Amino acid sequence: MNREEAAKRAEELVGKMTVEEMASQLRFDAPAVERLGIPEYNWWSEGLHGVARAGVATMFPQAIGMGAAFDEELLKEVGEVISTEARAKYNFQSALGDRDIYKGLTIWSPNVNLFRDPRWGRGHETYGEDPYLITKLAINFIEGLQGDGEYLKTAACAKHFAVHSGPEALRHRFDAKATLKDMWETYLPQFEACVREAKVESVMGAYNRTNGEPCCAHSYLMEEVLRGKWGFEGHFVSDCWAVRDFHEEHKITASPEQSIKLALEKGCDLNCGCTYQKILDALDEGLIDESLIKRAAIRLFTTRFLLGMFDKNEYDDIPFEKIECKEHLEVAAKATRESLVLLKNNGILPLDKNKIKKIGVIGPNADSRSSLIGNYHGTSSRYITVLEGIEDYVGEDVRVFFSEGCHLSEPKTQFLAREYDRLSEAVAVARNSDVVVLCLGLDETLEGEEGDTGNEYRSGDKKDLELPEPQIRLLETIIETKVPFIVCVTAGSALNLSLADKYADAVVQAWYPGARGGIEVAKMLFGEFSPSGKLPVTFYRDLEGMPDFEDYSMKGRTYRFLEKEPLYPFGYGLSYADMAITDVKASGSSNFSRASKDGISFNVTVKNESAIPAEEVLQAYVHVNGTPDEVPNAKLSAFKRIRLLADEEKIIEITIPAYAFTTVNDEGIRSVTGNNADIFIGFSGPDKRSEELTKTKIFKTQI
């Protein structure tokens, strides 16, 4: 069904409603209108990395882990799995009369905010710190969610529009100040792509204000940009209880009725929260016209018609058996494999279970289900922690010792015990082992959304980049044992891993690897596959020189604006294989003028010089010269995940779009202002630290 037909049917249906009925449909928990055959519908459903909060579903790595995969095709597969399972659930639940929250077809994902500051608690819900990476992954995820059938398979939602990335503790009253240059260079490109390229069906506004106006009632963002410049035709939804913040927190209105007036006038169609329950009061007071209510209702019912909610459609027969089926679990396992980033390896990895008799698995995240799942998660029928994954993998061949070592963040694991009550056990495990896997990191209680975590003093944000003090003490204790050890970090953001980098034999960033992620971690440690993930965020050594968290300027933030050497750079990740670029040739003319109009392609000859098959991520970066508008450092402009057999050589075509040769001026206008560009192609970014860590040089040319 096309939008024109759906909108016509929506207009006809809404035209039959009373104003009271129309108003009721603008709430996220829309009641039934029985006389018109409209069942109740709850718009709030989640699917960030699997259908969430609605029972059993396939659970993928957290979004930041999928960002580390640098794999567009994977994100489309993941979106397809989520939409299939959402449909399967909707089919049986609605048939049983269950139309509760989280059980609909309007999926409030993906989160395409940019991870600008490593302290932000919700950063792990995003795909990373780069607009281009976020854009390419989000487009494919949305296409997977929405499908290509006659009807929308599910309706995706790009959130949180638009200048939003903490601090969580202040978000309900915070005003994010951003220049037009920063907005159009950093904060808006991914949203524009979601709307214009992926045709995302809905957009969610953020809690905060941006440059003085609330994001859920923003003249510039919602009217001039979203529906004006970009031609957005879907519906706009507030973040939950964000409209209430207008009068209670931001103090830009004096009452719920005035907040309703502002939100509806600016185009907020759907209210997640309670404020729109007073729409009729605002109407009675003469603050709004009935036409505003009708406009929003038509937009919402257009989406419901596009989803085929009032017709027999091709998704009605998706069976219950598709939920967490073998094929879907295989996609989740693939996502975990591709997400794992090897940060350091002195040769200890891969482990050989034929040479190891005893292995110690130590740490608060070794046997933690919470460390697998991140936030906005569903329920798995089975969880496999790192400890369990290693135990399952080695079987009876290797003795596995385990110690929690310490609590995740508290001084002791037992209330009546002395502090550091598991350290002696950890030492005993280490001393009795040939090698130790030390599992450190965070979980959603230490980094997450304000109000959803146990981190009550920081509201989900991190105060710094350090591991919790008990874990630092544990790490120092294991170092003192002199036993070879591997640090496996399960966390959704950059931590200061300097101590691990200095003393550990290997360091693995596993993110939140998904419900059964432990088995894939084990397989990687023992060399069943070569790690191939790349960092979607910069790992800083510390916060020195980092702007204040509340400062939304980009100076010094992310790899594009970084002014000091990182511990581990964006785009970096090691492999067990030796991949080499032996030749790079431009396909066709390689002058700047043509590239800035049509883009440019390169044929890259890649050789796997190893005796093992492996995957890698080919990356291209561009820095435009001859203009003051370019960002300080070369920016990611193309990437492609490649697969080569042992000793195989391939010619890979990688295309850099014309967009990469544009820049944004202080007025927020994107255009071609340079006269030449440096192009870098390799398996990492073009920075000195990446070259030092990978011991390889990146190919460079100029056009």
CA 357/CA 353 separation, integer angstroms = 7
CA 387/CA 525 separation, integer angstroms = 12
Active-site residue, selected from the candidate residues 239, 245, 461, 687:
239
Q: Which tokens in the block code for residue 522?
A: 């084990």
Contact (CB, 8 A) for 610 and 577? yes
Q: What are φ and ψ of residue 651, in 5° steps?
A: -100, 120
CA 386/CA 408 separation, integer angstroms = 15
Contact (CB, 8 A) for 623 and 592? no
The DSSP letter of residue 183 is: I
CA-wise closest residue to 684 among 647, 649, 634: 634
578 flagged as catalytic: no
Crossing angle of helices 386-394 and 517-525, rounded to 10° = 60
DSSP for 654-693, written as a single string: EEE-GGGG-EE-TTS-EE---SEEEEEEESS-SSHHHHHH
Can you name the residues that pair with 509 across neighbouring β-strands?
341, 489
**Intra-chain end-to-end CA distance of the chain, in Å:** 46
Neighbouring C-alpha atoms within 13 Å toward the C-beta of 519: 14
In the sheet with 157-161, reading across from the earlier edge strand, the strands are 157-161, 202-205, 235-237
CA-wise closest residue to 618 among 689, 699, 703: 699
Contact (CB, 8 A) for 492 and 525? no
CA 650/CA 606 separation, integer angstroms = 5
The DSSP letter of residue 644 is: E
Q: Which amino acid is at 439?
A: C
Contact (CB, 8 A) for 25 and 302? no
Q: Which tokens in the block code for residue 164?
A: 């939003």
**Count of residues in the chain:** 703
Q: Which tokens in the block code for residue 465?
A: 């980049």
CA 512/CA 491 separation, integer angstroms = 6
* Positions marked active-site: 239
